[in-house]
Structure 1
């Protein structure tokens, strides 16, 4: 009888594991099929436009030609060096922007004179096109990595700061009073009450900051071309000068895919946060 119970228990575990695996596959498929459908739609429209002859094939190549060019590019070392250079610049600029934006956001949110002096200026900086900063950046730093990082930081930090300001502003006063009643004061109040309560807005600001940083970075790489430093923006510019439409579009696809992957990282963090807050039970 004991052996029978053991076998039955193992069978139940196998069934549970199988059900869990099928559930995960179902979730993956439920998340993937709308994206696959959208991709198929875009490729279909692209192919139809190509067949229509709206533009010459050397201006608008067929999808298969672009993906063949991409398949050739991924076998070259320069392609991967370009991706590595761009990602390194993006991550360094984003980390610097996040540090500045978080500190600035907290200071402006809690110090009234700073809010009066800088609140609207931060929003104005956020609305400025990143490309407008490049003439000043080149004057200050010449054609260098620092010129690119300068614009990336200026492009991303204001949106991160605004996310922090919004998050701190919307912390319920009841939570602040409860924290003070438990003895939280000064930094401990921020650590245990304000920071957790404002975290959703901060994550949203970081996500938006990355988008601004990525846009600023690619604009910078198109304008600030450093010798012996392959990058995605430099690759785009070079292929455009060669009238290589397939190469231009394939590089744009790579930039788009990196953006999608970054969004997936932030979306995963947001889902975990919502689950921890009890807002997402799925």
Structure 2
């Protein structure tokens, strides 16, 4: 049985169980919150709402808004993370100061910054962008600095002997040798940023998927809430499996650690 078939069958089982739970009094009240099961819409209802939202453009437009915010913040985070990571790996005094500070900042959930973001930037696009950037920057910094530090000195010395230095050395030796760590950092940073943008939009965004989640909660439309959750999960899965995981495997094959 192929991996794809296993996954399809697993999803079918989940949907079937979901439908049974939503349509029957499967769990007695003392085992399950009595108000929960009746309020869970069945699979056909949720998927009907999802398809209708895609056709009318409501969900597609919200997805576009969220991805736009996400990609812009993610690109900024990559630039900042690679820059900070290189400086931390290159200079001991920066590692002792900024490196230590970044480790502390990484432990702070990005959404905790939201009150400060509102004070600094107001409630809107810039605040969400700030939260997304914060969510990805520190993870990117830690992973890239680890990659830069682990570049074999033999590579650097050989390149310098051949006349490489400065930007040429970074582009042609240090960055390629650090790619496994950098791609791992991209994968984790995307996951953190994706969660951050949803949380930020739930609290103060407009027009995105998080905003639609908030609308669904406000009007008690659980079918809309679950439909948006499916979209969020599908996009996250596609990015992880079809983009970052493929990049990791490609680099691993190139470096001879995977066949």
Aligned residues: 250
What is the DSSP-based 3-state SS (H/G/I as helix, E as strand, rest coil) of the residue aligned with 1:75? helix
1:109 and 1:169 in contact (8 A); partners too: yes
2:71 matched to 1:99? no
Aligned mate of 2:239, from 235, 250, 262: 262
When normalised by structure 1's length, the TM-score is 0.83
CA deviation profile, 1:257-280 (whole Å, cap 9, x unmatched):
010111121112222222222333
What is the DSSP-based 3-state SS (H/G/I as helix, E as strand, rest coil) of the residue aligned with 1:265? helix
2:217 matched to 1:240? yes
CA deviation profile, 1:192-236 (whole Å, cap 9, x unmatched):
22111111100110111111111110111001134xxx2100100
2:125 and 2:205 in contact (8 A); partners too: no
2:21 matched to 1:59? no
Go from structure 1 to structure 2 and tell me whether the alpha carbon gap of 1:224 and 1:36 turns closer, same or farther (over 3 Å shift): same
2:104 matched to 1:124? yes
Rounded to whole Å, the distance in 2 between the matches of 1:78 and 1:47 is 25
The unaligned stretches of length 5 or more in structure 1 are 1-28
The unaligned stretches of length 5 or more in structure 2 are none
Aligned mate of 1:178, from 150, 153, 158: 158
Q: Which residue of 2 aligns with 1:82?
A: 62
2:21 and 2:37 in contact (8 A); partners too: no
CA deviation profile, 1:74-126 (whole Å, cap 9, x unmatched):
11122221111001000111011111111111111111111110112112212
When normalised by structure 2's length, the TM-score is 0.90
**Radius of gyration: which is bigger?**
1
Aligned mate of 1:72, from 52, 68, 74: 52
